[in-house]
Each structure stands twice: as C-alpha cells, then as structure tokens.
Amino acid sequence: MKKFSLLIVLLFLGAGFAGCIGGDNGEEEGAAGVSPEEMDALLSSASERNPFDGAVLLSPNQPILGLVAAPAACWYDSEGMHKLPLIVADTQEESKFLAKTGATEVAMLGFTTKPCCESREFATRFFKSADTVLMVRESDYALGISGAPLASYLNLPLLVVDEEERCGAMAEALDSLGVKNIIALGGNAAVSAAAYGYEVIVLETRDEMEDALLGVVSEKLGGVDYIAMTNPYDALDSPPLSSETNSFEAEITNVQLIAAGERFSAYGEPFATFDFQVAGGINHIRADAIVTETTAPYAEGGVEPIIGLALYDPAGVYLGFGSSAGFEVGSTYVETLAIGHPGTYKAEVYAHFGTKGLSPVVAPSSGVSAVSMKVRVDVCVEEQESPKMALSPNLSMIAPYLAAARGGTLLAGDFGFIGDAYANASAGNAAMPGYNKNLHGFVNAKVGENIGAIEEYLDRMEVCGLKEGYLAGPAWLSLVGGANSIPMYYYPTESEPWPEDGVGLPADLPYSTLDPLDEDGNIILSIGRMAAPSIDDLSELAARSLFYDDYRSAYETSAPLWGSRFLFLFGEGFAEMGGVFHQVPYAAEVAQHGFYPLVVGDEANGRTASEAAGYYTGSNYIEIIVHGNWFIYAPVIYGPDAYSQQIDTAHVNGWDLGPSVFITSACHTGRTDSVPADQALSLAFIRAGVNCYIGATRGTGSESQTQVFEDALIKDDLSVGEAFRLLKQEQIAPPSYQIRTLYGDPAFNPYEPNNV
C-alpha cells in the first residue's frame, strides 16, 4: 500500500486545489514521493454510470448506508449536477413523495444484507466502471460522513467494509469496476483498503476530509452558497446497561364544571399519581400514559378524551409535560435524563373528557367534563453508560446528499450538548435545559463552541477562495439536526411562564449572527433548521424542497388553485388586532400580485370547519395570528367546545398538506427544545407536508410582525432563508428577534403567481 498524504490528494485534484493549501502543482515530486506520472493517473480517474432515472429508497435503520446513498442519488460530471430523490422509509408505500410523483423505478438500500454487501451491490448497480472508489469502515459513520460528499462531486462509488481482512466478494466487485485507487476515509478504512492491493489515498481526519471537500468544490464549481451543518452522533446509539419497566393502572372518575374560567369539581378528582424509583447513575426515563377504557357520557358523542402527563423528581421539581393533544388521541409520553439523582419520582396524569369553549378575551371560558376512564402508565428507566437522548435520531443521514444536491459543503462534528460533559454539568438533576435554567450556561457554552467551529470553517473556505463569495451571496446555513444535536442558545427571561411552557428563550439566532450578544440585527448567514419528527419525515422534506416543481405539480392535481391561495387566519374575533391592522389590508395587497387571499376567523377557523373547507390543504401561503403552545394553537372563538376544535399535533400528524409556507404569529408554536420531536406542532406540520414553518419558541407579542418576510418572498423572489435573514435584520424588537425560528431548507424558494 502507498499512503498518500492529504497534500497529495489535494494536488491530484488539480491546479485549483493549490490555492486551498498554499501549494504548487508544478512538476516537482510531491511530499509523499508521488511522481508526475502517478499524479496524472489520479487526475485521469474516471467512472461510467449505468442508466438509472428513478429514486433511491434507504432504510432508516442503517445510518452508514446514508453515505453510500449520497453518490447514488446525486453526482457531478462534465454536464454538471444530476440528482434523484433520496427517500428514507421502511417501505415505498410509506412515502408521500413517491406516491404523488409516481416514481416507477426505486433502488432499495439497507433492506437485505449487511452494509458491506449492500454497498458493494449498489456500486455495481449504479456504476459500470470506476477506477477509484471511496471506502469507509462500518463503525466509522461519524467520521466518514465528512468525506461522503466527495463521492458525489467526484462521481465515484462509496463502499463500506466491516473487517480488516480481504473479502472475496468485495475483491471481485473492485475488479469488475476496474478499480486502481481507493480513497480511504479514516485510518481504519485504510487498513481494510490495504488488503486489496490497490493504491490507497488516506484521508485520516475530519479536517483532511473537509479540506479535500472544499478543494473539490472550489475546483468543480468555483464557488459555494450552501453549508449543511450536522451532528453525526445523532445516529450512534448503544444498548442500555440495564432496563426496567413498571406499569401502573388507575381509574379516574370526576365531574367538573368550568365557569368564568375556573374549574370546580363536583365529584372525585381529575387526576391520578404514581410513584416510581430511579437509581443513581445516568438514567433515561420515559413515561407513557394511555387511556385503556372510558365509559363517560361523551364516549359515543365524538368528543375525544384528553389526558396530560407531568413528571416530578424526588424534590417535586417539574421535569416535563405531555398531552394527548400533542401526540395521539388517548395517549402521550414524557422523557428526560436523570444524572446521579436517585429517589422516588412521581408521574401525574390529568384527565378531561367534555367541552370547554368561548374566548378568555371576549367571554369567560365555560364547559363541563365528565370523566370515567381507566389509564395505564408505563415507566421505562434505562441506565446508560454515557448520557444520550437525540430528540430526532439519525437526521444526519441525509446531510451528505443534501450538501451535494445544493452544490454545497458539509460541516460535521459533535455539536450536541449531551455527552460526558453534560453528565458533569447536570449531576444531581433530572430536568432537561428547556425546564432547567441552571443548565443554560452549559448549553450556551456549547453553542459558543459551535459558532467557533463555523468561523474556523469559514476561515478554511477563505484559503480556498470560497469565503468571500459565500458571504456575499445567499450564505445559506442549514442546521441538519434536532435541538439536542445542534442546540439552541438560551437567552434569559425576566419572568417564568407556566411550567409546561419551558424556561429561557431558546434561539437559533446566534448561528446567523455568529455572536450571541448581538441585538442590532447584524445577521450574516441565512439559516434554517432542517428538523423533523424522524429521518423519514426529513427525507420527505428534502425531496419536496429539491424537487419542488415536480412535487408541487403533482399536488396541484388534487388542489388546482393551491399555488395562488394565500390563507390568513386570525383568532378571537379580531381581538387579535393583527387581523384588523395587518391581515385584511395585506390580503388586498397580495391580491395585486396574483394571489387569491382568504381571511377567516371565528367559527370558520376551528378544526372541523377548516378541514371541511380545505383551508390548509388548499393554500400555498398560510399565515396565522392566534394563541398557541408547542403542541396546539387555538383560534379561540368557535363555539362552546374549544378543545374539540383546536389545531393540535395529534390531528395535524394525519393531515396531507402541500409544500406550503406556514408563517405564525403565535406563542410557543416553534418550540422544539426539551420536548419530543413527534409532539412539537411545528414539526408535525413538516411531517404533514409543509416545506417551511416559522414559529416562536416561547411567548411573543405585538412585535411579532411577518410582512417583511412575506414581501421578500413575493416581491423580491428570495429564498426563505434570505427572506428570514432580511426579517431579522429589520425587525429587531425582542423577544421575536431572538426566538422566531425557521424550520425548513433555507435555500427553498416557494412559488408565487407573480414570480414565474
């Protein structure tokens, strides 16, 4: 084996690379003794692909194969970029994207044998020949992800190996492809590659892979507008040291009257409590509450039971909350991490089965609840060696593909705050940062480190001549990961809200200012958080964004006016004054740009009326001004039963929406910190089909204005990331300046009827 240094790798990719390393691509022998003849051989590396014009379906259970899928679904050649949809799902039938676009041929990856075998079969399926391949050890996903986009840009297969010894089937595949060189991603891969007798180029560290990628992009494209930032450790899990599940059952019987906004129990209590034990050490706690039986008068009347679940530590400290409105009808769950905090914990279940309606502004709320139900609470306590809890695991799987498909680069690393250092910072606690302000300093320090990593990456881009053009352009930064994997910064609050609302002001803002202390709108980068309840949902979002025109056209076959419909929805009969002073006049303005605006409120904006009228399914742009929380929002005036008409995660999860732009002036509806990803309303709308969701992570007020963002999209035809950057630059009033968050691909540019 010949082990070439990173210097040689950069040199063989061409003269444009020399600027990235300050070197000279002349006739002198390279630092590792590479002759001009050997350099010419590397420069002439080539591949020929087999024809395929379908989609790639990737199993969510094999993160390492996300690296293999990237060059299969996106590649560059002399004609430019080519891309195919990359969908992550257990079956083809689960994909809305594939169903709507009618993909006729689907290549499946990760469903049959071991990753090494599947990567080998994929290489020979997609490539007729390739004189160079990339190779990564199966255990090196977190490292190899940084080199994976190279395979797309160089149009080469990426192979997975799981052992040091020579594999006969792999050797046959390499021989059939006509391989002469192997680019090894990491030292482990280099050891494996050596067994096959080819020349081996070793990119041993993450920095070497990233520098190589920057050089390739500089050589191939001459510039870059997009950086995907991801944390590959969201896909690494280890079995618990021990696991114990205890189940508790209770019957809740209660009659409750609600008058003048107050609750009065006429019979029984609406809650039940359960105690459970947690030992010392590092423990992941998940408590599930489930309605197993109900015999209340409303059981056959179409009214749904609502249960809430709260957890408390041995000292009575609030650990988290879940509602069946935020998960599934009749069930919910709460999870947290307890670090060195043993003792007796408490789970409390609250039940409501009945009506509650009218506006707290226009008229005091009133109603009745008649509860007669059996509930079961299952508490699972898993002891961990090191703390781990990715709210949305495996999202990094899509990052190499997304980076290449956007003509961008990839910045990967351990950007999360949960790890060994967290175990020390959180010792003696069981509340996550969203419920524990004592951890905000620790989390903020991690965000500071992440900002430092971005700044260092920009400096390395400058060496390659990429930084100036990046910052002068859209400067898209896509945060591919959940709020534990790439944490938000917590700004302080003067007063604390209700416990379930969370503490502090969590924000992605510092990733765009590169300065957490900025208060003046000095927004540098156009950011968006690519997050979803699952990797399946995120791959659908990526496909809808990258193949937007195809998907939009397919969706409009069932909603012909969708692209031109702008929905304005307000609450409290114009008591939300934005309905009067913004939505009505702005509706008239967007009509001048080809939209068909629709302004709705009062009884028309409840869930039943909205579903029947197709307000959400039929609208490209959706703007709401209402009261909300992280799992619901309430238009408020819709008769005597608000609970049955609220828009909540439990029901939005079942909706099928278009690739819309969803803009909210509503408290908390953008919260994703310290709450399960599949309970967050913002991410439920992403799952339902929305391409861009803007919401506040905590309470907001009259400063929550959105017209700057909308004007930038409609009048200036900007991407959502650029429009969001402009909004932040012009609207700097707190707290919206800090907490308003964009979920979606920042490079996504939606359709407007005047921009065609």
What CATH number is attached to the domain comprising 317? 2.60.120.380
Q: How does pLDDT run across 700-745, given as a tens digit for each residue?
A: 876 678 899 999 999 999 999 999 999 999 999 999 999 999 999 9
Higher pLDDT, 738 or 499: 738
- pLDDT for residue 27 is more than 50: no
Q: Cβ(323)–Cβ(289) under 8 Å?
A: no
CB 634 within 8 A of CB 668: no
Region label for 504, one of left (φ > 0), alpha (ψ between -120 and 50) or beta (otherwise): left
Could you tell me if 578 and 660 lie in one domain? yes
> Is 390 part of a structural domain of the chain?
no
Rounded CA-CA distance 117/128 in Å is 17
CA distance 471 to 465: 12
* pLDDT score for 363: 57
Does the residue 523 lie in any domain? yes
Say how far apart CA 193 and CA 301 lie, in whole Å.
66
CA distance 50 to 459: 39
Contacts of 214 (CB under 8 A, 6+ apart): 20, 409, 460, 461, 464, 466
Is 338 found in the same domain as 262? yes
> What pLDDT does 705 receive?
80
Assess whether 561 and 423 both reside in one domain: yes
Task: Please give the residue that has the higher pLDDT: either 73 or 358.
Answer: 73
Of the ranges 419-423, 570-574, 691-695, 739-743, which one carries the lowest mean pLDDT score? 570-574
| Mean confidence (pLDDT) of the chain | 90
Residue 437 and residue 480 in one domain: yes
Does some domain include residue 756?
A: no
Q: Do 369 and 253 touch, CB atoms closer than 8 A?
A: no
Please check whether residue 389 lies inside any domain of the structure: no
How does pLDDT run across 184-233, given as a tens digit for each residue? 999 999 999 999 999 998 999 999 999 989 988 998 899 999 999 999 99
Tell me: pLDDT of 33 over 60.
Answer: no
Residue, of 627 and 693, whose pLDDT is higher: 693
Q: How far apart are alpha carbons 254 and 354 in whole angstroms? A: 11
pLDDT tens by residue, 373-408: 999 999 999 999 999 998 899 999 999 999 999 999
Is residue 687 domain-resident? yes
Kindly give the residue spans of alpha helices, DSSP state H, lying in 415-499.
420-425, 440-463, 467-472
How many structural domains is the chain composed of?
A: 3
* CA-to-CA dists, residue 159 to 137, 151, 171, 412, angstroms: 9, 10, 12, 20
Let me know if residue 237 belongs to a domain. Answer: no
Task: Give dist(CA 632, CA 141) in Å, integer.
Answer: 37
Instruction: Note the pLDDT of residue 604.
Output: 74
Mention every residue, 6+ apart, whose C-beta is less than 8 A from residue 608.
Answer: 644, 645
Question: Do 454 and 588 share a domain, yes or no?
Answer: yes
Q: Confirm whether 755 is domain-assigned.
A: no
The tens digit of pLDDT for each residue in 520-533 reads: 889 999 999 999 99
Residue 314 and residue 203 share a domain: no
- Please report, for the domain that includes residue 727, its CATH number: 3.40.50.1460
- Whether 16 has a pLDDT exceeding 70, the answer reads no
Please check the confidence at residue 675 and state whether its pLDDT lies above 90. yes
Residues 352 and 488 in one domain: no
What pLDDT, on the 0 to 100 scale, is given for residue 267?
Answer: 92
Top pLDDT among 702 and 24 is at 702
269 and 336 together in one domain? yes
pLDDT tens for each residue of 608-653: 889 999 999 999 999 998 888 999 997 655 556 777 888 999 999 9
For residue 651, what are its two tokens? 């029901």
The answer on 181 and 102 residing in a single domain is: yes
pLDDT at residue 501 tops 50: yes
User: Would you give the DSSP letter of residue 635?
Assistant: -
pTM of structure: 0.94
Q: Report d(CA 74, CA 86) in Å as an integer.
A: 9
Instruction: Kindly state whether residues 197 and 288 are assigned to the same domain.
Output: no
Tell me the mean pLDDT in the region 329-340: 96
Same domain for 370 and 417: no
Q: Do 268 and 330 fall into the same domain?
A: yes
Residue 283 φ/ψ region, left for φ over 0, alpha for ψ in the -120 to 50 degree band, beta for the rest? beta
- The span from the CA of 679 to the CA of 532, in Å, is 11
Q: Give a yes or no: residue 231 inside a domain.
A: no
pLDDT beyond 50 at 34: no
Q: Where in the sequence is the domain holding 368, given as residue range(s)?
A: 242-384
